[in-house]
Amino acid sequence: MENFAFNHQLLLWIYAGAHPLAWQLDLGIFAAKYLCYFFPLVLVYQGVRYRDRRALVIVILIAIFLSIALSQLIQHFYPTNRPFVDGLVSNLIHHAVNSSFPSDHTLFAATIAFGFIFGRVYKLGVFLLALTLVIGWGRVYVGVHYPLDIAGGLLIGLISALVCVKAFLGSFQKALL
């Protein structure tokens, strides 16, 4: 993925640069590293607070496992460098030198967001999808992902959530009622 000129140009347009303002860098780091921790809290809250959403939470958890498995397969068979490894940008947060595509942070958040959307909890799902885009922006902003890594995470999250909600939600709802 790192060989596409458009991907490089978009990365350089989003990236923080050599001397970002402190508040902008803090915002980027928060989005890149910490915002994803909000998503499991939402899952727990939804499962505890709303009895009728428990089946959906279980299905979203299955979708997360599916999306992570797909990500691991892709990373194993198609390893890609991170932007800081390619020397295009400086790494603004500590990150392992491992495969970049797809973004696991974006994939995790997108799977949850799309799970709620496909489970017909639209307002929450759209809100989480907006936060997912912020996470993706942050990952590119601090130099640990290319924009196509984010797009890949969104796509795999969408597919995993769609497949699992369509395949399992009805069965789990019947079992839990």
Per-residue pLDDT tens over the stretch 101-115: 999 999 999 999 999
Q: Mean pLDDT: which of 16-20, 39-43, 87-91 is highest?
A: 39-43
What pLDDT, on the 0 to 100 scale, is given for residue 2? 45
Distance between CA 66 and CA 72 in Å, rounded?
10
Per-residue pLDDT of 43-84, as tens digits, reads 999 999 999 999 999 999 999 999 999 999 999 999 999 998
Residue given tokens 């601090």 in the structure block: 142
Quote the CA–CA distance of 133 and 139 in Å, as a whole number: 10
Q: What angle do CA 59, 149, 159 make, to 5 degrees?
A: 30
pLDDT band at 177 (very low <50, low <70, confident <90, very high): low
Q: What are the tokens at 48? A: 């505890």
Tokens coding 94: 């500590």
Q: Does residue 103 contact residue 136 with C-beta atoms inside 8 Å?
A: yes
Residue 174 pLDDT greater than 90, yes or no: no
Whether 1 has a pLDDT exceeding 60, the answer reads no
The CATH fold assigned to 39-176 is: Vanadium-containing Chloroperoxidase; domain 1 (1.20.144)
Q: What does the alpha-carbon distance between residue 15 and residue 90 come to, in Å, rounded to a whole number?
A: 9
CA distances from 152 to 17, 82, 106, 121 (A): 24, 14, 9, 24
How confident is the model at residue 3, as a pLDDT?
Answer: 55
